[in-house]
Amino acid sequence: MKIVVCIKQVPDTTDVKINPETNTLVREGVVSIVNPFDMYAIEEAIRIKEMVGGDSTVTALTMGPPQAEAVLREAIAMGVDKGVLLCDRAFAGADTWATSYALAQAVKTLGGADVILFGKQASDGDTAQVGPGVATHLDTPQITYVRKLVAIDASTITAQRMLEEGNETIRASLPCVITVVKEINEPRLPSLKGKMNSKKAQITVWKASDIGADPQKCGLNGSPTKVIRIFTPAARSDGEILVGEPEETTAKLVDKLMPIIVGASN
């Protein structure tokens, strides 16, 4: 079974910087980590390999600057077999749609995959769109917010997904994209052997041309959404606390809101 886990290098939450000219995150020279949700995807990818056995392989895939190689080595230290880095100026400034296109092209270049895993979302964007985007580009089924892998065989996968008011069990055909939540497992710590393997591992680096990507669909060129302006919201004025019995405070609140409501309707 061929398993691909897509991961992302994100800025440490204490060290976020924005390029004032492009309104994009500055990644070069910034302290970065593996996207926390992706750690659960890495662990689940390895567990699937251990469960299925045979000649199953796990490939970690990421897109970013040269320093993003570090997250691939961390995944290899945990037990992933190999890493692929998409690194090209053509990918710079990609939104979720352009990112999912590039990742899908890379999966195709790898010869496809039976299962493609993602963390449910990235900590620097919180959109939860890239996994579903890759499924769309590859025209494959998807199961999002997976909290438990129920069963998997050569042709199908059954998973329990987490909803706001309960759980839902879904069976889908392979190949399939799944995004996982932190409830699914507890990521393992890298072993000494894994750390040694990660240091000597050869990371495959692909440019846009290597994956047959259309330059007009990559990076800023291929991004239908763009950040126009980034600013710090103005400080809010102090709030007002209404004190008294419920009927009394309700009347006071209505008196204060009515002018605002009337003004908005005019």
Residue 69, pLDDT > 90, answer yes
The 3-state secondary structure of the chain reads: CEEEEECCEEECCCCCCECCCCCCECCCCCCEEECHHHHHHHHHHHHHHHHHCCCCEEEEEEECCHHHHHHHHHHHHHCCCEEEEECCHHHCCCCHHHHHHHHHHHHHHCCCCCEEEEECCCCCCCCCCHHHHHHHHHCCCEEEEEEEEEEECCCEEEEEEEECCEEEEEEEECCEEEEECHHHCCCCCCCHHHHHHHHHCCCEEECHHHHCCCHHHCCCCCCCCCCCCCCCCCCCCCCCCCCCCHHHHHHHHHHHHHHHHHHHHC
Of 115, 185, 124, which is closest to residue 143 (Cα–Cα)? 115
Percent of the chain exceeding pLDDT 90 equals 73
Residue 78 has a pLDDT of: 97
At residue 26, the pLDDT reads 63
pLDDT for 30-45, tens place per residue? 678 999 999 999 999 9
Between 163 and 238, the more confident residue is: 163
Q: Is the pLDDT of residue 225 over 60?
A: yes
Contacts for 248 with CB less than 8 Å, ≥ 6 apart: none
Residue ranges of the domains in the chain?
A: 2-217
Top-confidence residue, 187 or 15: 187
* pTM tops 0.75, yes or no: yes
- Looking at per-residue pLDDT, the higher value among 38 and 265 belongs to 38
194-224, pLDDT tens digit by residue?
Answer: 999 999 999 999 999 999 999 999 999 999 9
Residue 31 confidence (pLDDT): 72
- What's the mean pLDDT in 46-58? 95
- pLDDT of residue 6 exceeding 70, the answer is yes
In the predicted model, what is the mean pLDDT of residues 58-82? 96
Under the banding of pLDDT at 50, 70 and 90, the label for residue 233 is confident
Contact predicate 195/189, CB 8 Å: no
pLDDT, one tens digit per residue, over 11-25 is 876 556 666 666 666
pLDDT score, position 57 = 97
Q: What confidence score (pLDDT) does residue 21 get?
A: 67
The CATH code of domain 2-217 reads 3.40.50.620
